[in-house]
Amino acid sequence: MLGGSGYVAGELLRLLAAHPGFELAGVLSESKPGEPVASAFPHLASAYPDARFKSQPQIEAILAEAPAAALLSAAPHGVAAPLIDSLLTVAERAGKHPRVVDISADFRYQSAEAYQDVYRHPHGAPHRLAEFTCALPEHLESLPTRHVAHPGCFASAILLAAVPLLKLGLTAPALFVSGITGSTGSGRKPVEGTHHPLRHSDVYSYSALAHRHVPEVIACARAASGVEADFSFVPSSGPFARGIHVTVQGSLKSSIDSGRAIAALRDFYARAPFVKVLDEAPRVKSVVASNYAHLSAAANGRTVAVLCALDNLTKGAAGGALQWLNRMYSLPETTGLEAPAPGWT
């Protein structure tokens, strides 16, 4: 596992500790090599009492020697691509072919130019882009590439809500999105937006109509639905640590009521084990720390609003990544991920 000391890495470690199909071989942290994993994640001390963070050469040795291995990358964007490329090159020279699920933004775009337009620096491994597909497991029946890039947490919630509207042809392709996220979405390094005295008991928007994940949402929605949609997105910061709630609104092409909208969602996700469509509005507390997403809808004949709540660290990142890894290694998609939300968080 790469990028081992951040919040998403901690969530990956928590989920892997209870997973029956995968065993942790090593956690790379360039800033903490040799330090106990429990020093960064005290809540995981019972699961990893003796584990220590490893250096890149140690991870390279594991990949070169292991008969079968997978890479889960929670490294930051800009760091992930060259690191993954380097590790895959070492493994390939040793005749090994690990599969990768990257949770950073580095392999979410089909071209280096599209990536650079958003992140304002060159891509770290442009020759690897064709080896990755960016999609949610719910929106892709079979994987056309060896590796996967998991969409971001806000993107995951928006796509779960928007793709049925677009693919079923229920709305015009102009969608309006509002969303609120917990402070863990900003990462482990303290910044003003995650400073508790500023965030507590407050809600405020940021990057209104200019969020950098919108091009990613457009590309993933196009791939999943076949529709070139436009998303007007206003994200907000909420006074809680975990969770995301989004509302996606669109103009209906034909008149339907709330019941028919909910029925359409329920039919669309009938074979998606982690998407639950409710008659009532979803609540963040009902999904936090689980791999489930809850959806519902309201319609008045002219406009439809689809509501989605999920956990940004689990379904929006670590849990979604393990869901992909299960599929890539022919395990039941739900393996190790069916624990319910704890509630009352």
Regarding whether 302 and 161 lie in a shared domain, the answer is yes
Q: How many CB atoms lie under 10 A from the CB of residue 132?
A: 22
CA-nearest of 89, 177, 149, 170 to 321 is 149
Inside any domain, residue 255: yes
pLDDT at 5: 87
List 134, 153, 220, 308, catalytic entry: 153
Regarding whether 229 and 90 lie in a shared domain, the answer is no
Dist. CA 302–CA 211, nearest whole Å = 27
Regarding whether 108 and 257 lie in a shared domain, the answer is no
CATH number of the domain that 109 lies in?
A: 3.40.50.720
Residue with tokens 């999609």: 135
CATH number of the domain that 275 lies in?
A: 3.30.360.10
Q: What is the β-pairing status of strands 147-149 and 99-102?
A: parallel
Inside any domain, residue 40: yes
Where are the strands (E) in 45-166, listed by range?
A: 70-73, 99-102, 132-134, 147-149
pLDDT at 66: 93
Low-confidence ranges of the chain (pLDDT < 50): none
Regarding whether 90 and 199 lie in a shared domain, the answer is no
Regarding whether 162 and 86 lie in a shared domain, the answer is no
Last residue of a domain, one of 134, 169, 196: 134
Inside any domain, residue 336: no
CA-nearest of 308, 342, 307, 310 to 323 is 310
Last residue of a domain, one of 87, 103, 134: 134
- What single DSSP character describes residue 339? P
Tens-place pLDDT, residues 226-273: 999 999 999 999 999 999 999 999 999 999 999 999 999 999 999 999
Regarding whether 67 and 35 lie in a shared domain, the answer is yes
Instruction: Please check whether residue 4 is in contact with residue 29, taking contact to mean a CB–CB distance below 8 angstroms.
Output: yes
Dist. CA 224–CA 268, nearest whole Å = 13
Dist. CA 16–CA 288, nearest whole Å = 18
Q: How many CB atoms lie under 10 A from the CB of residue 196?
A: 10
Question: Domain residues for 89?
Answer: 7-134
- Give how far Cα 70 sits from Cα of 22, 67, 82, 146, Å: 9, 11, 17, 11
- Give me the amino acid identity at 135: A
Would you call 332 helix, strand, or coil by DSSP? coil
The stretches of 202-318 forming alpha helices (DSSP H) are: 214-225, 258-268
Regarding whether 226 and 106 lie in a shared domain, the answer is no
123-126 long-range contacts, CB within 8 A, separation 24+: 123/81, 124/78, 124/79, 124/80, 124/81, 124/82, 124/83, 124/85, 125/81, 125/82, 125/84, 125/85
Q: 145 burial class (0-12, 13-18, 19+ CB within 10 angstroms)?
A: middle
Would you call 206 helix, strand, or coil by DSSP? coil
Instruction: Please check whether residue 221 is in contact with residue 324, taking contact to mean a CB–CB distance below 8 angstroms.
Output: no
Inside any domain, residue 345: no
Told to judge if 153 belongs to the known catalytic residues of this protein, a careful annotator would answer yes
Regarding whether 212 and 114 lie in a shared domain, the answer is no
Phi, psi of 177 (to 5 degrees): -125, 130
Q: Who's near 267: CB < 8 A, 6+ residues apart?
A: none
pLDDT at 118: 96
CA-nearest of 49, 48, 40 to 18 is 48
Structural domain count, the chain: 2
For the whole model, what pTM was predicted?
Answer: 0.97
Inside any domain, residue 326: no
pLDDT at 173: 98
Regarding whether 20 and 128 lie in a shared domain, the answer is yes
Inside any domain, residue 142: no
Inside any domain, residue 12: yes
264-272 long-range contacts, CB within 8 A, separation 24+: 264/164, 264/168, 264/170, 264/297, 265/164, 265/295, 265/296, 265/297, 265/306, 268/164, 268/167, 268/168, 269/138, 269/164, 269/295, 272/138
Regarding whether 280 and 196 lie in a shared domain, the answer is yes
